[in-house]
């Protein structure tokens, strides 16, 4: 049986920039992060399966580490006046993956 992927998530509340096709970049608030993705809050819904990019900083050993990677929208749920979006990382480069592993320890 596979483990629930959200069990390995860590609370992660920062601002990030979400870039989507045909839209101006959107400033979003993150909620949590894991090795395969993260969740963010936005004011408008996003369709499932939409691809884009997200940029944010991880604090590793007291230093900000910029991360920019592809994402895919896995779910979109309206809650408490905003949309909670689950994003799956796509094309996470090795240095970003290493930084994320260090952050999640």
pLDDT by residue (tens digit) across 38-87? 999 999 999 999 999 999 999 999 999 999 999 999 999 999 999 999 99
Cα 86 to Cα 1, 62, 68, 72, 80: the distances in Å are: 22, 27, 17, 8, 16
Total-model pTM: 0.89
Assigned CATH for 5-104: 2.40.10.220
pLDDT value at residue 1: 39
Structure tokens that stand for 6 in this block: 């959200």
b/e sequence 55-90, b meaning 16+ C-beta within 10 Å:
ebebeeeeeebebebbbebeebeeeeebbebbbbbe
């Amino acid at each position: 049986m596979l483990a629930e992927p959200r069990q390995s998530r860590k609370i992660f509340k920062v601002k990030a920039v979400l870039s989507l096709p045909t839209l101006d970049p959107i400033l979003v608030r993150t909620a949590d992060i894991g090795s395969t993705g993260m969740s963010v809050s936005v004011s408008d819904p996003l369709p499932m399966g939409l691809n884009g990019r997200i940029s944010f900083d991880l604090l590793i050993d007291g230093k900000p580490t910029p991360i920019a990677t592809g994402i895919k929208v896995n779910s979109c749920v309206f809650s408490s006046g905003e949309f909670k979006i689950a994003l799956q990382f796509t094309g996470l480069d090795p240095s970003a993956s290493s930084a994320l592993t260090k952050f999640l320890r």
